[in-house]
Structure 1
Amino acid sequence: MKTTGNTIFISGGSAGIGLAIAKKFSAAGNKIIINGRNEERLQNALKQLDNAIAIQGDLSVKADRLKIAEELKSKHADVNIIINNAGAAFMNDLSDNNNNAAEKAYEEINTNYISVIDFTALALPLLLEQEEAAIVNVSSIAVFRSNKYLPTYSASKAALHSYTQGLRDTFSENENLNVYELYPPLVNTEFSAEIGGANGIPPSQVADELFIALKENQFEVPVGDTKRIHELVIPITEQTHH
């Protein structure tokens, strides 16, 4: 797929992995549309980008998804890449009865899974009009194995992973639309600070890997530590999916 001259929408684009991706693709000559909930953070991010605009809104809210999709259709009808990167994660101690585990899980599932399905459905008519289009879903190394710190976050990303495989199969006959899955490991961002993110890889490394993958039409994009697990697991799932 071409890596320049695209119009790219990035949810959660004002910080962390989303901003790193925006910087990488902006520098390569793409038009960037970043989305986030906080207008101040969006404006701060725009100062670090060329050829970029921001659309404020919370994609976990249905009304905002409809508003954003409508704005893309009316003002940015050339959008041909959607990167579903916005996420929610909570430390969730399942042994603590006062922890509100289900409430946390509900927010994670809504943001990381349900909202992605709905927003993708809203964006698909626009993407299918383009000569070359892509959907990039940002999942996680956690899709392959959960843990006691992030059990429900991991489950929400596993759901996103499964949906992404099904979405790719759905459009496998369509040569104009490709479906990518980006699997970051632990990344050093504000988002992952409370789970030891300082020990993670820089977000720019994730952006670099995605850029190469788009250029090479490599739809599975494991990064860093995810590569080792991905090599073991994905060949097995590919054998059994028919």
Structure 2
Amino acid sequence: MKTTGNTLFISGGSAGIGLAIAKKFNAAGNKIIINGRSEERLQSALKELNNAVAIQGDLSIQADRVRIAEELKNNHPDLNIIINNAGAAFMNDLSDQNNHAAEKAYQEINTNYISIIDFTALTLPLLLQQDDAAIVNVSSIAVFRSNQYLPTYSASKAALHHYTQGLRDTFSETAQLNVYELYPPLVNTEFSEPIGGANGISPSEVADELFAAMEKNQFEVPVGDSKKIHALINPLIEGMSH
């Protein structure tokens, strides 16, 4: 699809991967709308962008999702790309009885999965009015294999992965709507700092890969180490009946 002249809404767009994507697409001549929970962080991020706007709100809260979708409809009727990037992750030791594992998992599932389903449904009518539109769901290398440190986070991203595949199949015959899935590995961001993010790749590398993939309508977008696993698994999945 085209990679210039678009209007993008990016959740979690005030820092990390979201801000890197905002910068990349902004520099290519796209209108950027960033979203985040902190107004202060949003205003700081806007200083790094050209003629971008911000909509404050927590997409894990249904009332905020409805409000933001309505604001997009009323004030940004040319919106044609949403990037569902905001996420939640907790170190979750399942062997610790005092860890509140279910509470952490609930927050992850709500933010990384349920809220994305709802927000996508709320914005779909507007996207389907456009000649060229896209939904980008940011999942993770964790969809392929969980571990003892992030078991419930990995499960929430695996759920998002399967939802994204179903969404893509649902609109496979709708020529003007494309559904992308971005699979970052460990990325050096504040978000991933507790799990060794300093050893990860730069957020700009993730943004570059997404931009290149959208230019060539490559709907599966593995990045860095995710490419190795994706290359092994995806041919098997694609060979299965949908």
TM-score by length of 2: 0.99
Separation of aligned partners in 1, 2:169 and 2:113: 18
Q: Which residue of 1 aligns with 2:112?
A: 112
Q: Which residue of 2 aligns with 1:26?
A: 26
Matches within 5 A, 1:226-241: 226-241=226-241
- Counterpart amino acid of 1:239? G
- SS of the aligned residue for 2:55 comes to strand
Q: Post-superposition shift, 1:145?
A: 0.1
Q: Post-superposition shift, 1:241?
A: 3.6
Separation of aligned partners in 1, 2:183 and 2:134: 16
Separation of aligned partners in 2, 1:175 and 1:219: 13
Q: Which residue of 1 aligns with 2:179?
A: 179
- Counterpart amino acid of 2:185? P
Q: Which residue of 1 aligns with 2:207?
A: 207
Q: Which residue of 2 aligns with 1:192?
A: 192
1:111-150: CA deviation from partner (whole Å, max 9, x where unpaired): 0000000000000000000000000000000000000000
Q: Post-superposition shift, 1:239?
A: 1.4
Q: Post-superposition shift, 1:77?
A: 0.5
Are positions 1:69 and 2:69 aligned together? Answer: yes
Q: Which residue of 1 aligns with 2:3?
A: 3
- SS of the aligned residue for 1:240 comes to coil
- Contact kept in structure 2, 1:30 and 1:51, CA below 8 Å: no
Matches within 5 A, 1:41-190: 41-190=41-190
- SS of the aligned residue for 2:153 comes to helix
Separation of aligned partners in 1, 2:134 and 2:235: 23
Following TM superposition, the consecutive aligned residue runs of length 4 or more in structure 1 with deviations greater than 4 angstroms are none
Separation of aligned partners in 2, 1:213 and 1:51: 25
- Contact kept in structure 2, 1:137 and 1:180, CA below 8 Å: yes
- Counterpart amino acid of 1:4? T
**Structure 2: runs of 5 or more not aligned:** none
1:209-239: CA deviation from partner (whole Å, max 9, x where unpaired): 0000010000000000000000011111111
- Counterpart amino acid of 2:216? E
**Structure 1: runs of 5 or more not aligned:** none
Separation of aligned partners in 1, 2:235 and 2:12: 31
- Counterpart amino acid of 1:214? M
Q: Which residue of 1 aligns with 2:221?
A: 221
- Counterpart amino acid of 2:207? A
- SS of the aligned residue for 2:33 comes to strand
Q: Post-superposition shift, 1:51?
A: 2.1
1:195-216: CA deviation from partner (whole Å, max 9, x where unpaired): 0000000000000000000100
Number of aligned residues: 242
Separation of aligned partners in 2, 1:166 and 1:160: 10
1:53-80: CA deviation from partner (whole Å, max 9, x where unpaired): 0000000000000000000000001000
- Contact kept in structure 2, 1:17 and 1:204, CA below 8 Å: yes
Q: Post-superposition shift, 1:109?
A: 0.1
- Contact kept in structure 2, 1:3 and 1:215, CA below 8 Å: yes
Are positions 1:40 and 2:34 aligned together? Answer: no
